[in-house]
Each structure stands twice: as C-alpha cells, then as structure tokens.
Amino acid sequence: MSTIAAFYGGKSILITGATGFLGKVLMEKLFRTSPDLKVIYILVRPKAGQTLQQRVFQILDSKLFEKVKEVCPNVHEKIRAIYADLNQNDFAISKEDMQELLSCTNIIFHCAATVRFDDTLRHAVQLNVTATRQLLLMASQMPKLEAFIHISTAYSNCNLKHIDEVIYPCPVEPKKIIDSLEWLDDAIIDEITPKLIRDWPNIYTYTKALGEMVVQQESRNLNIAIIRPSIVGATWQEPFPGWVDNINGPNGIIIATGKGFLRAIKATPMAVADVIPVDTVVNLMLAVGWYTAVHRPKSTLVYHITSGNMNPCNWHKMGVQVLATFEKIPFERPFRRPNANFTSNSFTSQYWNAVSHRAPAIIYDCYLRLTGRKPRMTKLMNRLLRTVSMLEYFINRSWEWSTYNTEMLMSELSPEDQRVFNFDVRQLNWLEYIENYVLGVKKYLLKEDMAGIPKAKQRLKRSCTPYSTL
Ligand SMILES: CCCCCCCCCCCCCCCCCCCCCCCCCC(=O)SCCNC(=O)CCNC(=O)[C@H](O)C(C)(C)COP(=O)(O)OP(=O)(O)OC[C@H]1O[C@@H](n2cnc3c(N)ncnc32)[C@H](O)[C@@H]1OP(=O)(O)O
Ligand SMILES: NC(=O)C1=CN([C@@H]2O[C@H](COP(=O)(O)OP(=O)(O)OC[C@H]3O[C@@H](n4cnc5c(N)ncnc54)[C@H](OP(=O)(O)O)[C@@H]3O)[C@@H](O)[C@H]2O)C=CC1
C-alpha cells in the first residue's frame, strides 16, 4: 500500500484554482489514489454563465475523470464547491462556509493565480500576492491544518540565471506594494510598473516572486512548502497520455503551427525547452503535502520540478518532433501546410513576419472581401504575433534550477510511492511524450475526430497550394 495514498485517506483538503489546468489533474489523482479521502473543498467562482454546481459537474463529466468514476463512484458527494472570489475581501465566502473551512481543513493546495503575462499590476497583485496573504491568514486559524502547499513558478526568479531552492528577496516589500496600490490610480500604476518590475520580463513572474515573499513573511508557525514548476505541459502517463485543456504555454504555439498560421518563431534552438508534464507536477505536490505534514521540516522548503537538469530537451528537438507528428497526425483544415522554422535574430524574424505571416493574411483577407465575407485573418495574425512576442523571452534563454530538495524527497519515498507518485523526469522519453502531446492537443483541445486523420493526410499530400479552406 502506498504511504502517501494512505496519508490522504480521511483527510479534508482545500484546493484553490481547482478549475484550472493543474487543479483538475490534482483533484483527479487525489480521488483515484485516495478514494477514501473525506472531502475536497474547492473555492470556485461562477463563470461564463455557469453556476458553481454546473462547473463542478462539467469537470467530473469530462474524459479526465473517467477512471475516477470507476474507483470512486460517489465522487460527487466528496467535492464541496464553495462560492469564493479571491479578488474580494475574505474571498466573499459565507460565514457558515468559512466556519466549516476553518474547523475542518487538514491540507491546503494553493494553485489559484492569474497566469496572464499582461495582466494589470493591480489585478495580478490582488490575486498572486494579496489573496495568498489572505489564505495564509485563514490557514493560521485552522486548528487541524497539517500542511500548506503553495504553487509558484520556476520563473519567479527568471531575472537570475542559476536559481536555488530558496526564497529570494524582492527589491520592494510586498506589503508596500499592496498598500500603495490601494490609493494609487490606474494611470500612475501603469507608469510605475516598468520601474517596479525591473528585470522581470512580465507582471506575472514578478507578482509570483512577491507571492513567495509573502509566504515567507506570513508563515507564522505553519507547515509550508513552495513548489516551483517550469512550463507545465500535457500529461505524460496519468490518467492517460496527452491530456491538455488550455492554450497557455506551448499549446497555443502547437495549434498555430499545426494549423499553418505560424511559420517562423524567434527562438534559440539549443536553449533548454524546460517543459514538465502536469501529472509529474501533481505527483510531486502530493508527495510534498505528505512529507511536509508528516516530517514537519523546520523551515519552508522550496521544490523545483523542472526537466532541464535531469533530462534536457531543447527547442530544436521539440520543434522537429512536433513537425514530424503533424505529418503522421495532421490537424484538420489547415490555413497552410504546417512548416515552421526557428529564426535567430530580430532582422530575420521581422522579415519572416512580413513575408510569411502578414502578407498571406492580407492576401487572404482580400480574398474574403472579394467573396463578400468579413476579413479577419490580419487581426488574428496580429494577435498571434503579439502572443508569440510575449513568449519569446522564455524560448531564447536557458536557466539552471537546482533540485536538491526534490531529489531528497524522491529518496525518502518507498519504492511503492516512487511508482504511484512518480516525479522522476529522467524516465521521460521526449519523442514519445511530444507525439502524445500533439495528439492530445488535437483530441482534447481542438476536439478533432481521430477518424478524420486519413482524410486530413490525403489533403496534406495534395496541398501544394498555400491556402486551403478555413
Ligand atoms: C529545423 C527546426 C524546426 C523548428 C520547428 C519549429 C516549429 C515549432 C513548433 C512548436 C514547438 C514548440 C515550441 C513551443 C514554444 C512555446 C513557448 C512557451 C513558453 C511559455 C513560457 C511560460 C513560462 C511561465 C510558465 C508559468 O509559470 S505560467 C503559465 C504561462 N502562462 C501563459 O502561458 C499565459 C500566456 N498568455 C497570455 O498571457 C495571454 O494569452 C496573452 C499572450 C497576453 C494574449 O492575450 P489576449 O490577446 O488578450 O487574449 P487571449 O484570449 O488570452 O488570447 C488571444 C489569442 O491569442 C492566442 N493565444 C493565446 N495564448 C497563446 C499561445 N500560448 N500560443 C499561441 N496563441 C495563443 C489565442 O488563440 C487567441 O487567438 P484568437 O482568439 O485571437 O483567435
Ligand atoms: N501552467 C503553467 O505552465 C504553470 C503554472 N504554474 C502555476 O500553477 C498554478 C496553476 O496554474 P494553471 O492551472 O496553469 O492556471 P489556470 O489559469 O489554468 O488556472 C487558474 C485557476 O485560478 C483560478 N482563479 C483565478 N482567479 C480567481 C479568482 N478571482 N477567484 C477564484 N479563483 C480564481 C481559476 O478559476 P476560474 O476557472 O474561475 O478562472 C483557475 O481555477 C498557478 O499558481 C501558476 O502560477 C507554474 C508554472 C507553470
């Protein structure tokens, strides 16, 4: 029997960000390996016209939870969705719900965040910093709390080249920023933002660094750990390979390339592509939850979950394998035949943007106009190029993350736990993983029918013409 799975039996677990990419995989694994857990509380807000219950049902009815329903048929009864908005005071949680959370919670996994690179400083600080402080305050009032696991990012200190498993101080105290945002108006905030974030590439990574500092400052006598994943990708093994459900990180780029929109990216081919499968991250999170609660380390431990130092893959290898997979498993109705290249400098990048991106979009829009339809390709292309430019920082650099704590934890696990909660990325076969990733993007994100592959292949063979129907 797995010690970690047994540990979560009978526990009341609070998860923020449970409706997100990482949160869903975390819930799935918890229910599948510890079906006898008491309850998972999730803090959810209504969204896109859906009530809390509808959101929960949609998650539980998805393919991701198919195995869970076999192992834990009463999973609906074990999820308790609590109305909460992390942007509000006290998260807008009702008194009764707050009482229940405070008196029952054993473990907290804090995953909620804004991951948008271009969010406003006010909103990003509210969610990634102030809400973390508020949650820590709640945690300090929970008599049964055994561990608080905070999810940060490996890029919270991406202004450094070598990053250790320590919390680095930020140039400005988080409290000062929180306080000043209360009275500064938006125009002034926009003006001072570049000065505040200094050499961080965006507001997201900067506010995640502030969030870590808050964790350190407000930890009191809580049992806390911080987990820093790199670029979180599709599932590697569990519950099945290739599951992915949003366009963040590499996912949008894979779609844009596979559909023939994106033909050139400014990237450093030999830079490390530090992608880490989401199920690997979740396995580490559960192992850290157990270790933190049972072994109660004296200080807050930081765990890096990255692939670069143990089993490196570079962008060239990743790109070549992605393109090779498109040959075998093409996406349906591409704009152009998928074929992309990495460019190495700004000049060639601008050239290809003009020739391979903007010009075809303009020509296609002319065609749409001539056939009485509304032009849309130029707008779409401009948004895509803006997105790609925001990701460029991360595909043109390599970082070194030390992983002593993560390796220490691995050695603390029994052979059974190492198998059930495997986070040893050395076992990952990149070529197989990337192929499953692309297949997953097609199936679960684009929701394309696999039966259409032979037809899509035939079209691809025939398509010497640049444009096919959209
Ligand atoms: C021989 C060689 C061969 C070579 C071959 C080469 C072949 C190559 C093949 C490929 C190989 C693989 C290479 C992969 C490189 C990946 C690098 C990843 C780095 C990630 C680093 C992450 C590090 C940190 C990790 C973390 O710690 S946390 C997670 C990271 N956080 C994010 O990833 C959020 C980012 N995003 C945003 O910040 C917002 O998206 C925002 C951008 C502001 C837009 O924002 P906006 O325009 O307002 O609106 P949206 O609604 O968001 O999107 C609006 C429109 O843009 C589109 N679109 C949104 N996204 C993406 C996206 N990705 N990619 C593409 N499109 C996207 C969306 O389809 C929509 O299209 P439309 O609707 O117009 O049709
Ligand atoms: N994805 C990645 O590549 C990486 C992610 N991380 C970290 O992992 C964590 C999870 O990221 P990921 O799952 O990818 O992100 P997602 O964007 O998929 O999920 C974010 C979650 O936060 C919730 N949330 C956002 N705002 C609020 C709010 N005001 N009130 C309540 N809930 C809110 C969202 O809820 P809703 O569904 O209602 O929007 C959603 O459940 C984050 O802390 C992120 O920084 C770290 C490294 C890489």
**Phi, psi of 280, deg, nearest 5:** -65, -40
Q: Look at ligand 1, atom 72, and give the residue with the nearest C-alpha.
A: 380
Q: Measure 416 CA to ligand 1 centroid, in angstroms.
A: 37
SS3 314: strand
pLDDT at 469 over 90: no
Domain count along the chain:
1
Rounded to an integer, the average pLDDT of 405-411 is: 98
Assess if residue 342 is contained within a domain. Answer: no
Q: How far does the centroid of ligand 2 lie from the alpha carbon of residue 394, in Å? A: 19
Q: How much is the average pLDDT of 204-226?
A: 96
Q: How far is the CA of 265 from the centre of ligand 1 (A)?
A: 12
| Å from CA of 115 to ligand 2 middle | 6
Q: pLDDT tens for residues 79-129?
A: 999 999 999 989 999 999 999 999 999 999 999 999 999 999 999 999 999
ipTM score above 0.85: yes
| Ligand 2 center to 76 CA (angstroms) | 22
Residue 191, domain member (yes or no)? yes
Range of the domain at 126: 3-237+274-311+398-429
Amino acid letter at 184? L
Task: Kindly state whether residue 317 falls inside one of the protein's structural domains.
Answer: no
Which of 387, 397, 401, 438 most suits a substitution to test ligand 1, by most atoms within 8 Å of the C-beta?
387
Q: Quick one: pLDDT band at residue 48, thresholds 50, 70, 90?
A: confident
Task: Encode pLDDT of 119-130 as tens digits.
Answer: 999 999 999 999
To the question of pTM greater than 0.90 for the whole model, the response is yes
**Cα distance between residue 75 and residue 402, in whole Å:** 38
Flag whether 331 is in a domain: no
Asked if residue 464 has pLDDT above 90, the reply is: no
Q: Which ligand is nearest to the CA of 381?
A: 1
What is the band of 404 on the pLDDT scale with cuts at 50, 70, 90?
Answer: very high
Residues with CB under 6 A from ligand 2: 17-23, 43, 45, 47, 84-87, 111-115, 127, 151, 153, 208, 229, 231-232, 246, 248-249
Sign for the pseudo-dihedral over CA of 130, 131, 132, 136: positive
Local structure of 282: helix, strand or coil:
helix
Atom of ligand 2 nearest to the CA of 151: 43
455 pLDDT band, cuts 50/70/90, is confident
Q: In this structure, is residue 348 part of a structural domain?
A: no
Task: Give phi and psi for 381, each to the nearest 5.
Answer: -65, -40
The tokens describing 324, both together, are 């090779």
pLDDT band at residue 460 under the 50/70/90 scheme: confident
Alpha helices in 201-358 (DSSP H): 203-217, 250-258, 278-295, 315-328, 346-352
- Report the atom number in ligand 2 closest to the C-alpha of 204: 45
Nearest CA to ligand 1 atom 27: 153
Kindly report the CATH number assigned to the domain that includes residue 176: 3.40.50.720
Q: Is residue 213 part of a domain?
A: yes
3-state secondary structure of 275: strand
Q: Does any ligand 1 atom lie closer than 6 A to the CB of residue 41?
A: no
Residue 19 near residue 48, CB atoms below 8 Å = no
Question: From the CA atom positions of the chain, what is the Rg in Å?
Answer: 23
For residue 79, tell me if it sits in a domain. Answer: yes
- Tell me phi and psi for residue 120, to 5 degrees: -75, 155
Does the pLDDT of residue 311 top 50, yes or no?
yes
Say if 360 falls within a structural domain: no
Confidence of residue 462 (pLDDT cuts 50, 70, 90): confident
Residue 461's pLDDT is: 77
Model confidence over 427-444: pLDDT tens digits? Answer: 999 999 999 999 999 999
Is pLDDT of 382 > 50? yes
**How many angstroms separate the alpha carbon of residue 117 from the centre of ligand 1?**
10
